[in-house]
Chain A
Amino acid sequence: MSVDESIGELTLRQIEAFDPFTTRFITRRLANTYDKFVEILYEDIDEIIQYIQENPELRKGDIEDRVTIEILGNLRHQGYDASHDTKIGGHTDLLVKNNKGYKWIGEAKIHDGNAYLWGGFMQLTERYSIGDDRQKDGGMLIYLKISDADKVMKNWENYLASQNLQDYEHHPCSKNSLYFFSKYKHTKSGLIFTVRHMIILLYFNPQDSSKDNPITQTPPKGKTKRKLSD
């Protein structure tokens, strides 16, 4: 729609049909339970992750905080009260609050093996979260700069299952086959705490010889061809 054809007044129909970033505007404002709050938040995070994954070549050198801050900025644009490095038992990577007192905490890690992820998982669950009814969910944001995300997530899922967490269970995510949910009995609250494990695909190693590919382009004479790197 051009500026000349701008809408006069705004109906539910118009706002829902407008743009992916405003489609959930109404649903977000109407969320009146913790589960609904988290459901919409995950839809918004998924949209942002899709956007971030579109240009992995721009993120090869990114550290954890840079990608997290990009997610944070997009969440703020959608109206979320989102913050980084907020102190709750430690410095959280991503904290999202709403005006009903609901909280969701995300822990971000560049994948560097299961032991490293486990450290992040324990920070998220046992250090930062209380695990009560107003913060009964959290998320792991796993930034992957190597190939085969499916294998990485299955390994991580198996590793987590072997840690003897009380009342542990896990199940796949219906929205993304690479994601999964874990649940266990939170030590502080004694209630079930749910974590959505999300992987962000930042691997970039194109095999084509297109002019857009700086890796496989023939180097000028006298210069050494760059090695394919991870």
Chain B
Amino acid sequence: MSSKSQLVEQIHEDWAEEPQSKICLSILDLLLKLPTDKPSHLTYGRLRNTISQSYADRELLLAVQYLTGDRTQLLELHYELIDEDDIPYPLDDDSVRLAQETGELFHPETGSIINDYKDKVFLYFTPSNLVRNIS
């Protein structure tokens, strides 16, 4: 179990005065405020709204990459296919891995090939189990 102060210290140690320190702390605050009794679906846009608009996408992406990585493991990365019908279909890691290796993604329900799948697969995040155990 990690305490919030330990995580804050680690973030400062890793990023020092770089913008990612403040971005990571804003996201950590968001995660700790989320209800624990229902799943949270954090899109990139939601994370962007959490932080100051003065930060560039590159700065946010680096922070998200860090929070999703093995060092902190605070965010879990997921994928969803949003095709012309605008309905989101969750994709598991194996489907995305296979698509990245072969260049072809199959629709999880119809089985048809998705053209230009990289433009239709969106990333989203959920708080990891570690977040629930932050004291």
Task: Please state if B53 and A80 are interface contacts (CB–CB under 8 Å).
Answer: no
Q: Which residue of B lies closest to A36 (CB)?
A: B97
CA distance A105 to B75 in the complex (A): 26
Q: State whether the Cβ of A82 lies closer than 8 Å to any Cβ in chain B.
A: yes
Task: Please state if B65 and A12 are interface contacts (CB–CB under 8 Å).
Answer: no
Task: Please state if A13 and B71 are interface contacts (CB–CB under 8 Å).
Answer: no
Interface size on A, residues (CB 8 A): 35
A/B interface sample: 13 pairs, CB < 8 A: A1-B56, A2-B56, A3-B55, A6-B57, A9-B43, A9-B44, A11-B122, A12-B123, A16-B118, A21-B62, A21-B65, A27-B100, A30-B93
Give the residue among A8, A13, A77 with the most B Cβ atoms within 10 A: A77
Task: Please state if B58 and A78 are interface contacts (CB–CB under 8 Å).
Answer: no
Please give me the 10 A-B residue pairs with the lowest Cβ-Cβ distance, nearest first.
Answer: A79-B69, A10-B44, A13-B118, A81-B70, A12-B118, A81-B71, A30-B97, A10-B123, A12-B121, A98-B70
Other than A29-B77, A77-B14, give 11 A-B pairs with Cβ distance below 8 A. Answer: A7-B44, A9-B44, A10-B122, A11-B119, A12-B123, A15-B123, A19-B62, A26-B100, A28-B69, A79-B71, A80-B69
Main secondary structure on chain B at its contact with chain A?
helix
Given A26-B100, A27-B100, A30-B100, also A76-B61 (CB < 8 A): no
Given A12-B123, A26-B100, also A7-B69 (CB < 8 A): no
Q: State whether the Cβ of B12 lies closer than 8 Å to any Cβ in chain A.
A: no
Given A9-B45, A13-B119, A30-B100, also A3-B71 (CB < 8 A): no
Q: State whether the Cβ of B107 lies closer than 8 Å to any Cβ in chain A.
A: no
Q: State whether the Cβ of B54 lies closer than 8 Å to any Cβ in chain A.
A: yes
CA distance A28 to B100 in the complex (A): 12
Task: Please state if B93 and A73 are interface contacts (CB–CB under 8 Å).
Answer: no
Minimum CB–CB distance for B87 against chain A, Å: 15
- Select A78's contact among B15, B69, B96, beta carbons within 8 Å: B69
Given A12-B118, A12-B121, A73-B14, also A7-B70 (CB < 8 A): no
A residues at B contact (CB < 8 Å): 1-3, 6-13, 15-16, 18-19, 21-22, 25-30, 32, 73, 76-82, 97-99
User: In the complex, which residues of chain B have a beta carbon less than 8 angstroms from the beta carbon of A7?
Assistant: 44, 57
Minimum CB–CB distance for A204 against chain B, Å: 26
Per-residue CB contact flags for chain B residues 59-86 toward chain A (1 = under 8 Å, else 0) read 0011001111111110001010000000
CA distance A76 to B73 in the complex (A): 12
User: In the complex, which residues of chain A have a beta carbon less than 8 angstroms from the beta carbon of B79?
Assistant: 12
B residues at A contact (CB < 8 Å): 14-15, 20, 43-45, 48, 53-58, 61-62, 65-73, 77, 79, 93, 96-97, 100, 117-123
Task: Please state if B71 and A82 are interface contacts (CB–CB under 8 Å).
Answer: yes
Minimum CB–CB distance for A10 against chain B, Å: 4
CA distance A82 to B77 in the complex (A): 20
User: In the complex, which residues of chain A have a beta carbon less than 8 angstroms from the beta carbon of B55?
Assistant: 3
Give the residue among A9, A10, A30, A77 with the most B Cβ atoms within 10 A: A10
Task: Please state if B57 and A1 are interface contacts (CB–CB under 8 Å).
Answer: yes
CA distance A99 to B128 in the complex (A): 13
Minimum CB–CB distance for B117 against chain A, Å: 8
